[in-house]
């Protein structure tokens, strides 16, 4: 029984975490990867086996992925990028018929996560505060502008005065004008949430974001505070949620005041901190989907664990272009 991590790219830590846990629970199992260019993917170089796939929008993507899984005894597929999620969710039954389980939330929930306006409605329905969205003709400065369908901090703007607003901000229909939550007042948290097969919350690990690079946490620290109980209270069961979810919240620096920002239905780039703190999502996925075990709620992760990320090297000898 093998695991396949798709679009592995630079996710060396994620691959190695699954390798470690799979070796302990299913010694004969392998952690495999896919990427558009396996030769130039660090994660593919450290995985047990790697396969080249076309981009997710290619007509052959799904058939090629399914063929790889069938031919290599893959039983679990772990997607890692946003563009894969909806494609796999729509085709999940094709994989399940072959005994292959993509660890992925429902199509309906993924659609909510992809649309920031739908996400705001989701939060409000569960009693979670959200930043107010303004009309482009009636707004209050300062503003935070971002696309309703964006990711990785692309096309985001902090607007403090009218001179910073341009025609682009007004004519681009994708951009939302939002209440600005001041970083001098609010701390930004990324919370790794684990949901079992029955869509029940089994773990919450908040990571305070200290420094972000290209939309991914570069420096962060685990914090045990009221945000844990707040999420348990409001998100204990989320219909359609499966596996690792990465939720972004703002917490007031001095008070228990919270704002929900967004949820990504996949492993986030900063997950290694959660894993190293003791919240063992890879192990739980193997226990649930390979061994048929139930997962108990886990909250005994290490608090105040600081992660400082840096670039490392993977060397490939005698490489031929």
195 and 224 inside one domain: yes
Q: Which CATH number fits the domain that encloses residue 43? A: 3.40.50.20
CA distance 184 to 207: 18
What are the CA-CA distances from residue 232 to residues 112, 225, 236 (Å)?
A: 20, 12, 5
Residue 204 belongs to some domain of the structure: yes
- The pTM for the full model equals 0.95
197 and 283 inside one domain: yes
Sheet with 49-52, edge to edge strand ranges: 49-52, 31-35, 2-5, 74-78, 101-102
Looking at the structure of the chain, the number of domains it has is 3
pLDDT in tens, the chain (321 residues): 999 999 999 999 999 999 999 999 999 999 999 999 999 999 999 999 999 999 999 999 999 999 999 999 999 999 999 999 999 999 999 999 999 999 999 999 999 999 999 999 999 999 999 999 999 999 999 999 999 998 767 899 999 999 999 999 999 999 999 999 999 999 999 999 999 999 999 999 999 999 988 777 889 999 999 999 999 999 999 999 999 999 999 999 999 999 999 999 999 999 999 999 999 999 999 999 999 999 999 999 999 999 999 989 999 999 988
189 and 41 inside one domain: no
198 and 253 inside one domain: yes
Contact partners, residue 264, CB within 8 Å, separation at least 6:
82, 113, 151, 245, 246, 247
Range of the domain at 137: 133-179
70 and 137 inside one domain: no
Question: Would you list the DSSP string of 162-175?
Answer: GGG--HHHHH-TTE
Residue 318 belongs to some domain of the structure: no
């Amino acid at each position: 029984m093998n695991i396949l991590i798709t679009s592995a790219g630079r996710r060396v830590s994620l691959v190695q975490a699954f390798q470690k846990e799979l070796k302990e629970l299913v010694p004969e199992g392998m952690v495999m990867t896919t990427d558009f260019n396996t030769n130039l993917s660090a994660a593919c170089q450290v995985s047990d086996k790697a396969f080249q796939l076309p981009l997710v929008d290619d007509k052959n993507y799904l058939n090629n992925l399914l063929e790889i899984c069938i031919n290599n005894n893959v039983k679990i597929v772990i997607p890692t990028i946003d563009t894969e999620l909806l494609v796999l969710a729509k085709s999940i039954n094709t994989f399940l018929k072959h005994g292959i389980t993509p660890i992925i939330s429902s199509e309906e929930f993924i659609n909510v996560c992809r649309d920031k306006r739908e996400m705001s409605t989701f939060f409000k329905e569960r009693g979670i505060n959200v930043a107010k969205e303004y009309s482009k003709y009636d707004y209050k400065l300062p503003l935070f502008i971002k696309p309703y369908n964006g990711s990785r901090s692309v096309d985001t703007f902090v607007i403090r005065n009218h001179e910073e607003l341009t025609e682009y901000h007004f004519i681009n229909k994708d951009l939302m004008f939002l209440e600005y939550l001041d970083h001098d007042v609010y701390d930004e948290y990324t919370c790794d949430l684990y949901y079992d097969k029955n869509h029940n919350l089994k773990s919450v690990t908040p990571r305070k974001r200290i420094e972000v690079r290209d939309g991914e946490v570069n420096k962060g620290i685990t914090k045990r505070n009221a945000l844990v109980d707040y999420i348990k209270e409001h998100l204990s069961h989320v219909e359609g949620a499966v596996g690792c979810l990465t939720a972004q919240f703002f917490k007031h620096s001095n008070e228990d005041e919270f704002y929900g920002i967004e949820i990504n239905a996949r492993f986030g780039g900063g997950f290694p901190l959660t894993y190293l703190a003791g919240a063992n999502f890879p192990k739980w996925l193997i226990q649930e989907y390979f061994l048929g075990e139930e997962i108990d709620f886990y909250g005994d992760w290490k608090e105040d664990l600081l992660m400082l990320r840096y670039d490392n090297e993977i060397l490939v000898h005698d490489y031929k272009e």
